[in-house]
A = this chain, B = another copy of it.
Amino acid sequence: MSRQLKLGAILTGVGTGQADWLSPEIPGDASVNIDWYREQARQAEAAKFDLVFIVDSPYITPDSAPHYLNRLEPLTLLSAIAGATSKIGLVATLTTSYTEPFNVARQFASLDLISKGRAGWNVVTTGLEGAAGNFGREEHIDHTERYRKAREHLEVVQGLWDSYEDDAFPRDKQHNRFLDPSRQHRLDHKGEFFSVTGPLNIARSRQGQPVIFQAGISESGRALAADFAEGIFAGVDNFEDAQAYYRDVKRRTAQAGRNPEHVVILPGIAPIIADTDEEARAIERHLHGELDLDKALVHLGRPFNYHDFKQYPLDAPFPELGDLGSNGYRGHAEHIKQVAREQQLTLRQAALRFATPFSHFVGSPQTVADEIERWFVEGASDGFNIRVTAPSEFKAFTERVLPLLRAKGLFREEYSHDTLRGHLGLPVVENRHTLARRVDAGLKIPA
């Protein structure tokens, strides 16, 4: 079978944009309504999507967009969705800056067993300085330290996930032998940020370990991705940037000694689909017109740690910000500055341009399908994370665009696997202790 598109559905409740919730289709409580989420996950599974994806962040202000203000927590949410689905992958965002690796390892391993091998962890470091205040710190951890900590956190979590080899539990009632203690392993990690003895009190799932996702586009984010990421939720918003990012990350992955096919790059997109390209563009203009500019300015300030953009004239060139944002969502902040400079945007234009963190693929079903094919074939992506808010929008994608992609032979008609690794074409992670034993015994190592 030829190379296949990978598709994720970003379930966002009332939507991450500031005006999405105004749609008459979206219940005002969608972000805390488990029935709403279950139904969307079921629809994504019916469309044979690879995964559903939950974004997250642990800090709000009264100005935060509706979805951020009041939403279900990703791990509990996906555990609840697990029972309403049986095939689709379940990827939750969780920060390494304000969590204990032992607890994180345990909860993701538990989700992985509950879902029978469908869990993924989107590793973030939290870009909002205010988050520090929710976790007993006077100041936010700085960007470089955050990524050093993320790296160590991940090493600990993956080490804990291998606490038990896959044959650790003979469960032999006749001989009263539940555990084979030689297959249980302590970790005894001692590092800069964490000391963790282990073992973890939970075994591995059929996919070995949950899949590691990453979303950073800064230099530190890309370096982390090269070493750890198996999936990437890329925040790029045009073809050229996506292509450059794709090549850079695949090259870095190869240089890190990993198979570049084992990191799947999925830019986030929010398609706007109508019968004709013109109608779709009219809908986009209408959405921009509906935007509350004050709120768009707040949203624009988010990657810059909620910098107050209201202080600048709206129709003057985008302001000079120095290194503001370098300790926030650095990659996003730099991207906004660069685009505003290169395209000579005014502040108003920038606020509209970045009102949602997703690319808009705008046009007829054929136009959108062709654009998806172009990104996929010309080395800009391995697939996409589609933002899901209003049901009619998602339906337009699954009922009008997907058939075209299937006709092109780019997307599955049926699932051929039932784990997330299976869908994404990622290998089951061999347990490191089992592998070491094979080496010791001079046995063949699986590819």
Instruction: Please give the residue numbers on chain A whose beta carbons come within 8 Å of chain B beta carbons, in ascending order.
Output: 14, 19, 21-22, 24, 28-29, 32, 34, 38, 58-60, 62, 64, 66, 68-73, 75-77, 79-80, 82-84, 98-100, 102-103, 106-107, 109-111, 113-114, 130, 133-137, 164, 169, 171, 173, 176, 178-179, 181, 184, 194-199, 201-203, 292
- Whether A130 pairs with B69 at a CB distance below 8 angstroms is no
- Whether B73 pairs with A76 at a CB distance below 8 angstroms is no
**B73, B100, B133, B202: which contacts A70 (Cβ < 8 A)?**
B202
C-alpha spacing A217/B79, complex, angstroms: 33
- Whether B102 pairs with A60 at a CB distance below 8 angstroms is no
Number of copies: 2
- Whether B203 pairs with A113 at a CB distance below 8 angstroms is no
> Distance (Å) between the CB of A110 and the closest chain B CB?
4
**B60, B64, B107, B184: which contacts A76 (Cβ < 8 A)?**
B107
> Distance (Å) between the CB of A126 and the closest chain B CB?
12
> Distance (Å) between the CB of A233 and the closest chain B CB?
20
Q: A21-B171, A60-B199 are in contact. List 9 more A-B contacts (CB 8 A).
A: A59-B201, A64-B201, A70-B169, A73-B106, A73-B202, A80-B83, A80-B114, A83-B83, A102-B135
Q: Who on chain B is nearest to A164 by CB?
A: B70
List residues of chain B with CB within 8 A of the CB of A133: 195-197
List residues of chain B with CB within 8 A of the CB of A197: 130, 133-134
List residues of chain B with CB within 8 A of the CB of A28: 169, 171, 173, 178
List residues of chain B with CB within 8 A of the CB of A137: 195
Q: Given contacts A98-B100, A136-B196, A173-B28, are A107 and B201 in contact (CB under 8 A)? A: no
> Distance (Å) between the CB of A205 and the closest chain B CB?
9
Q: Who on chain B is nearest to A26 by CB?
A: B173
> Distance (Å) between the CB of A187 and the closest chain B CB?
9
Q: Given contacts A28-B178, A102-B135, are A110 and B73 in contact (CB under 8 A)? A: yes
**B34, B73, B103, B113: which contacts A72 (Cβ < 8 A)?**
B113
- Whether B70 pairs with A203 at a CB distance below 8 angstroms is yes
- Whether B181 pairs with A62 at a CB distance below 8 angstroms is yes
> Distance (Å) between the CB of A229 and the closest chain B CB?
23
List residues of chain B with CB within 8 A of the CB of A198: 134
**B21, B80, B173: which contacts A82 (Cβ < 8 A)?**
B80
C-alpha spacing A201/B60, complex, angstroms: 7
- Whether B34 pairs with A113 at a CB distance below 8 angstroms is yes
Top-8 shortest CB links A-B: A28-B171, A133-B197, A79-B79, A73-B110, A76-B79, A76-B110, A62-B181, A66-B178
**B32, B34, B64, B114: which contacts A34 (Cβ < 8 A)?**
B114
List residues of chain B with CB within 8 A of the CB of A38: 83
- Whether B110 pairs with A69 at a CB distance below 8 angstroms is no
- Whether B70 pairs with A176 at a CB distance below 8 angstroms is no
Can you report 24 residue pairs joining A to B where beta carbons are below 8 Å apart? A14-B178, A22-B173, A24-B173, A34-B82, A34-B83, A58-B201, A60-B199, A62-B184, A70-B203, A72-B202, A73-B106, A73-B109, A75-B107, A76-B79, A77-B79, A80-B80, A80-B82, A80-B83, A83-B84, A100-B100, A100-B135, A100-B136, A102-B134, A133-B197
List residues of chain B with CB within 8 A of the CB of A24: 173
- Whether A178 pairs with B130 at a CB distance below 8 angstroms is no
> Distance (Å) between the CB of A282 and the closest chain B CB?
22
List residues of chain B with CB within 8 A of the CB of A70: 164, 169, 201-203
C-alpha spacing A100/B96, complex, angstroms: 13
> Distance (Å) between the CB of A26 and the closest chain B CB?
9
- Whether B72 pairs with A75 at a CB distance below 8 angstroms is no
C-alpha spacing A347/B20, complex, angstroms: 68
> Distance (Å) between the CB of A232 and the closest chain B CB?
25
List residues of chain B with CB within 8 A of the CB of A21: 171, 173, 178
